[in-house]
Amino acid sequence: MKLNLFFPTLISVVASLCFASIGATYAWYQYRSYVSMNFGGTSIEATKIFQVGLVSDVALDCNKYGLEYERVDGRRVYWVNGSATEKLCEYYLETNGYGTKYLNGVTSGKYSYNQYDEYGRDTFSLKRAPIYCDNYAGSNFPNYDLAKKNDYLHFSLAFRTIIINDESESVSTKKSGIKLTSFKFQHKDNDLNKAVRVHFSNADSSSAFIFNPSSIQDGEDEVGGVLDLCNNGTYDTFTFAGDDYEYIYGESESLGYKSEKTTDGAPLTLSGGDGDCFNAEHVNGAYAIDEDKTVWSTSNYCGSDSVILNNKIISTNEASGIAYFSMDIYLEGWSHAFTNSVLDKAFGCSMEFESI
């Protein structure tokens, strides 16, 4: 059973970049986004239809967009009849408080596949991008602000198979799984796609992971490091007991500074950066991070081989015959691609799911 859910466009972030800086940096942007989905009741056989629904935290106007409301498994499910237009998607996201016109760079922070808390809940959460010399240094984010809902896109989806016979319709309760069979980018000539991440999480806490569609293999993003957020060409520093030290953004497993101050770096200036906060120089007269003593925390992701080629199951249907899962589509602010190299670039993506 195959659902061409997002083809030609599920989430289409295909607009011009609007310049906006956070603090005194060029490193994170706001991307204007246009979102549309093409659902449609895809026929599987003559007697079966694969349906897709939007799960909403708040009530939606069914009459305005031709939705069919059903209260099931304690959720508000709005079955989509035909295409979910850009206006419907914008309405769904806005009504639930998520991003529509702009996406901001955020970070997952430290995360690994199927990372649950003691209550079986997925520990994934999105945090705001760093601000120049705020209180992250050495703290492993105890005061780390969560990202705002309108910084990213979030969809909660429901899937079911309707069996049609001559006299009635029924929902199939045969156990089946939902998998992702295709993820395609539009505008592949830019680097912005390297910053896109999709977090999948299903209702029964059996599968939760971050998907990096630009990577074939599984990997990880470092979620800690030194940065040039003041855009002067050298890594940011702070003063402690009369000495300057490089400022640590994000999370680390272990941390150490060199025993001698930098002498072969660059002088401190008020300008001179090229906007790439990751590739700056160490400033003379400050203690630099000792990379041999420092281990940055990571956020693990799955690549296309494990998710698509090896048919990773995203969700399975419940007793009601409906499968649920959520998607967070966001721009990982720690990605090296997420800098001035993608200024004025845009991207779009499409996804295809299958029921097995």
- Residue 272, domain member (yes or no): no
Specify the pLDDT at position 105: 81
When the pLDDT of each residue in the chain is averaged and rounded to a whole number, the result is: 78
Domain that holds residue 213: 2-222+297-355
State how many domains the chain has: 1
Distance CA 61, CA 69 (A): 9
Higher pLDDT, 101 or 202: 202
Determine, yes or no, domain membership for 245.
no
289-304 average pLDDT score: 94
33 touches 9 (CB < 8 A):
no
Burial 325-342 (b: 16+ CB within 10 A, else e): bbbbbbbbbbbebbbeeb
Give the pTM. Answer: 0.84
- Is 267 a member of any domain? no
DSSP characters over 243-300? EEEEPPEE-EEE--B-SS--SSSB---S----S-TTS-BPBTTEEPB-TTT-EE-EEE
Over residues 221-231, the mean pLDDT reads 86
Task: Look up residue 191 and give its two tokens.
Answer: 């680097």
Tell me what pLDDT residue 36 has: 53
Residues 329, 229: Cα–Cα separation, whole Å: 25
Between 35 and 111, residue with greater pLDDT: 111
What confidence tens digit (pLDDT) does each residue in 299-319 have?
A: 999 999 999 999 898 888 888
Q: How far apart are CA 259 and CA 237, in angstroms?
A: 16
Does 164 reside within a domain? Answer: yes
Q: What is the pLDDT of residue 187?
A: 67
The answer to whether residue 326 sits within a structural domain is: yes
The pair of structure tokens assigned to 148 is: 């705002």
Nearest to 338 by CA among 106, 12, 11: 106
pLDDT in tens, 185-204: 776 556 777 888 999 998 77
Report how far apart, in Å, the C-alpha atoms of 291 and of each of 13, 169, 201 are: 37, 63, 34
Nearest to 321 by CA among 158, 162, 160: 160
How much is the pLDDT for 99? 83
CA distance 44 to 34: 30
Instruction: Please report the pLDDT score of residue 30 as a whole number.
Output: 59
Q: What is the DSSP letter of 194?
A: G
CA distance 201 to 207: 6
d(CA 156, CA 55): 5
The verdict on residue 78 lying in a domain is: yes
State the average pLDDT over residues 164-185.
Answer: 80
Instruction: Determine, yes or no, domain membership for 158.
Output: yes
Q: Which residue has the higher pLDDT, 150 or 44?
A: 150
What is the model's pLDDT at position 63? 92
Q: Smallest Cα–Cα separation from 323: which of 1, 98, 66?
A: 1
Query: How far apart are the C-alpha atoms of 163 and 184, rounded to whole Å?
Result: 31
Query: pLDDT value at position 328?
Result: 92
CB atoms within 10 A of CB 345: 16
Asked if residue 343 is part of any domain, the answer here is yes
What is the pLDDT confidence band of residue 11, given thresholds at 50, 70 and 90?
very low
Distance between CA atoms of residues 80 and 57, nearest Å: 16
Three-state SS sequence of 14-80: CCCEECCCCCCCCCCCEEECCCCECCCCEEEECCEEEEEEEEECCCCCHHHHCEEEEEECCEEEEEE
**C-alpha–C-alpha distance, residues 102 and 114, integer Å:** 29
Residues 117-173 pLDDT 10s: 777 778 899 988 877 776 454 444 445 678 889 888 899 988 888 888 777 788 877
